[in-house]
Structure 1
Amino acid sequence: MQKIGVLLPRSTYYETISFDIYEGLKLGLEAIGEKDIKIVTENIGFGADKQQCYRSAEKLLLEENVSLVLAFIGHRTAELLRPLFLAANKILIVLDAGANLPNEWPTCANIFYHSLHNSLGAWLTAQKASNDGYKKGAMVTGYYDGGYLHTYSISKSFEDAGGTIFFNHATGYKENDFTMEPLQHYINENSDSAFLSLFSGDFVQWYFKELKSRFSNQNLPIYLTPFGFEETMLENAVFPSNLVSGIVSWSKKIENKENKLFIETIEASGRKPNLFSLISWEAASIVTKVLELLIEQKNNIPKIASELQKFEFNGPRGKIYFDEKTNTTISDLYEVRLIEKNGMSEIELGKRVNNIKEEFDKLCELSLNNVTSAWYNSYTCI
């Protein structure tokens, strides 16, 4: 029986994250007929402790002798693990929320990235705001979300499209410190602004509650990125405005047989399908391909990497394939808008975004001079 390792995070506002990732991977493997693969897990906390991440990965490689490792981490932590995986001659599959931008896009043959593309979604969200006619923007972020470089992605995209950011507001860390009061004066003077918003987890619910409380009659144009539309959080979020729209990487409303199977299988296990079970479910197809190539190519990592770069498959989001320059998966993204259901929020799925690969290439070419992020945490893990 082959063994694979998984580095599992924890999160205070996505409390089921480790279970979702584990179940998504296990059920995804079973769905494609792989029932004889043993999954060995190690906990890495919030992903911020670099030594803990290294020790946990090292344990999987040395003590458990796993064939490969999956980890819900970001680029910075993955780069710290790079020497370990080079020395072990093993492959690391990074389950990447895509909220940060690396200073240099990596091309190590031992590391591949399967992404939810929050930064790319932010890039496209700003374009949507511009296409809707907005030239003035206010950027509004949660305390945690504001520390990632999807903030640069959304602002740079808006500016490149001819817009200007006139106002920035980052909220408090806790619910009793969370307020949209600073927006009130700005809105009085700049009612023609788009609100470029970066939130995840409970912060989405707090944001909508504040908007509803303070600006219920103003119908503000709110633009959200993929994690802002995470549907398990929207179930408990009040409907704030008729002009909430943006980009998603996945929704339960995507109609294809792969998504139907994913949703039905996860729900039959007693869990709610979400972005975390989705990314690991899809990763099951990448895992089986790597295991196949390990045998076929006799553990020759450069040859395995070359073959894996050509690999593509259909998942719940649609077609998934690798960008050969960055070893990162490319997948469909969709336009959405928010609709009201019994006073709460729900997604209405729109059209698939065109030219995803071309827009990803533009994102990769951004110069990040003097643009940095201090976060090592796995995204959404605080």
Structure 2
Amino acid sequence: ARQSPSTCVMSGVDSITSQVKSLDLIGSERNRPLRTQHTPDDLNYVDIKPAQRPSVKHGTRGEQIDLLVNWYQLNLQLTKTQTIYIYELKMEEERREQGVKKYVEIKNYTTIAQIFWDMVRSKKNREIFSHPFSLVFDDKKRMFTPCRLNVPGDPLWKGKVRVLMEISSMFDINPDKTTTDEEACARYLNHLLSQKSRWIPPKNADRREIEFSKRFVQVGGGMYLIPRTDDIPTIPVQKGVQFWVGLYATVRRMEDESPVFLFGLSNKLFVELNLKLTDFYAGINDFHPVDRRSCLSDKAANDFDHKLGGVKLKCAKCPVIDKDGLVVACKDRHFKLVGISKGEFPSNYEMRVEDKGLQERDLTVTKNDGSRIT
């Protein structure tokens, strides 16, 4: 039988009402407080007190033993509060692109350190850096000094390279071994301890200072001995890669805020010194030693390009050419290998490199018969 419209409407209302009631029940179930299980009364609770670390304030616990530690307490010998000023440096190099002159920030740490010490020793800046031996530089962008400098607003070093310097912040070191900025103070002491291994001496410096700077390299917090002779220990890892032995040094603070000098032996991976590119390629492919008579086939040239593309190269005695195209000097230059390809003649190969990422240039042209590369 057919239902009337009113009956259909009432049945729809009843169904909606039942759904609303079910939702109310669900909501009431969710709002009901969580009931936890009853804890029996026969359980005994023990109040455990954390053990205190032995020190001057808390005494000792148990039997005392002697320990051998690799740190030494630093005696700053301060009679009054010493203020250390922090300066921020920015070094830029002049470049020309499409006839437009602009300055690009220098990011190579070795270049930055060399420019900094040349600037400090310059006669033009003697009034600014009157006490050069009190300066501590991190080889990046921060300089620490106990004397406030009279820095002009203009760049300190003009020409192809300019240096901008301004005061950044300061902190105090008090006689009671406290400081207003613990992080900056620890950073200053760390750089102070490693300054001798990072310092670039002048050409007229004492021979011992020059030899010391040539024997060590500073990487992170470690000072590593450069294996320039065979008697210096190294651990070969693979062809062209070695472990160098070094000394890790840093400054830490004890519980009573006393600074201590912490040191220990460390090792780090380095690229083998004076490794020729052809010898490195022969080593990773297990070839026999490469000499002047060794040849490179077309297939090997493609493999050479694939495996060594992008490797960094150091070229000794690279000619320096002036604006007239004349060779005026020779110096070490660093390049990035792009690859090798056929030259103008079928029997020649050209090695393409990048100079500081600006452009590609031809570095070497091999002229021997076949695909010989020298």
Q: What band does the TM-score fall into relative to the shorter chain?
A: under 0.3
More strand by share: 2
Give me the TM-score of the superposition, normalised by structure 1. 0.22
Name which one, 1 or 2, has greater alpha-carbon Rg.
2
Higher relative contact order (CA 8 A, sep 6+): 1
More helix by share: 1
